[in-house]
Structure 1
């Protein structure tokens, strides 16, 4: 299977927003420290780690919302590291992101149809109304939802709108950043089922960021574990759960809530 993403020795440094110097700029800290991995076409890859591990920073670097400080990111053979926005635009439609909080990522003054249409118009795509209708159908929302506002929807429905907006562009790759963490258990299961179906039906490649290993185990074929900006494991998910190699991975597994208090991981 060909690789869609090839990441080599990736470094990313950001200003430390917790520091408040009296003079000059805030000190810079290295968030990502020499990451190397691939994401094959058609794969569902989990990116997991605790708070501050760098997983969301990595995700934003993959879709070029953040600029790497070193190393390279290749997307389908194209080196997208350091590309200017005009040079990147022909490729940007092909990788999309679904955000954690749909309420903050959806314009509250726009109807759902307008929200889905906005990136379509930005990329100069045709047949916008039919693409909106098809996207809503893919995510299981009635066509009448195109005329609703985000505040009229439930959390799960808003997240489906976010997914519809992403897939309307017919991307090859979708990054989903903690998109079920704010949903109840029932809505979580529905969104995960939806993602599984979309991957199969649309031939998507998916990177799923989460702190919840139980969700990763359900959805992902392979899991990358980040700790303090470094990869500590990158293995098939079943192998990682059966025989975690890194001490940090074992800590994450031991932190998963168990339905039976007498149950233990073996």
Structure 2
């Protein structure tokens, strides 16, 4: 399958379907046991860590649980600054971190806070800021709103949608929530037992699914008519 440049592709399936494993292979946190992964025309499937190091700046991941992915001993400043330092961007750190926080709707004063001083939505915003601080080309978002309340989910998804458009990001968005997939993604990949059973444009998949498994997934989850503006909330303090 292809992930079109500048698009958001949803990866959906039941628990254990292999979607997170696929995602981690895409950013080469896992080495694939079969097949190949091509990034900008280059096969990165079996590159060593040394070979991957120059690409890490372009391949970033937003993790599902910021409580486990954000170091509790580090301030927000150091959490965002760490990948900048590691990738030779240690100059202008204060300015770069302030820009990253502003990008995700957090004030510069948050730079001195620790993980436990943030709400769930604020922690996820920090995770997004860290991933995007390097201006990557590809971002994997793995179930990034699954632990948030509905209102905060909408804010985070609206933020991701805006940033993807502004920065021209190519995004793989893993979720079990088909209503979110329908609203956010231009393409959808459906997985079952480690295999892709269907892949198509989002509208086509929801209106005319080809595979019985896809039809079962759609039938199992209530899908009301989606208001095109349901993710767009009035301006308010970030959750």
Q: State whether TM-score is above 0.5.
A: yes
For residue 88 of structure 1, what is the aligned residue in structure 2? Answer: 52
Counterpart-to-counterpart distance in 1, 2:109 and 2:127: 16
Counterpart-to-counterpart distance in 2, 1:240 and 1:49: 14
1:22-171 alignment to 2 at 5 Å?
Answer: 37-125=1-89, 126-171=91-136
What is the deviation of 1:259? 6.1
What is the deviation of 1:251? 1.2
Secondary structure of 2:196's counterpart equals strand
Counterpart-to-counterpart distance in 1, 2:220 and 2:180: 13
For residue 193 of structure 2, what is the aligned residue in structure 1? Answer: 228
Which blocks of at least 5 consecutive residues in structure 1 are unaligned?
Answer: 1-36, 261-266
Secondary structure of 1:70's counterpart equals coil
What is the deviation of 1:257? 3.0
Which structure's residues are more often strand, by fraction? 1
Counterpart-to-counterpart distance in 1, 2:84 and 2:78: 10
- Verify: 1:185 aligned to 2:158, yes or no: no
TM score, norm. by length of structure 1: 0.82
Counterpart-to-counterpart distance in 1, 2:148 and 2:10: 19
Counterpart-to-counterpart distance in 2, 1:251 and 1:155: 32
TM score, norm. by length of structure 2: 0.91
For residue 235 of structure 2, what is the aligned residue in structure 1? Answer: none
For residue 233 of structure 2, what is the aligned residue in structure 1? Answer: none
Counterpart-to-counterpart distance in 2, 1:230 and 1:105: 28
Q: Highest Rg: 1 or 2?
A: 1
What is the deviation of 1:198? 0.2
Aligned alpha-carbon RMSD (Å): 1.1
Secondary structure of 1:66's counterpart equals coil
What is the deviation of 1:258? 5.0
1:146-185 Cα deviation digits (max 9, x unpaired) = 0001111110100000000000011001000000011100
Which structure's residues are more often helix, by fraction? 2
1:125-151 Cα deviation digits (max 9, x unpaired) = 132221111110110001000000111
Secondary structure of 2:161's counterpart equals helix
Secondary structure of 1:176's counterpart equals strand
- Verify: 1:206 aligned to 2:180, yes or no: no
Secondary structure of 1:72's counterpart equals coil
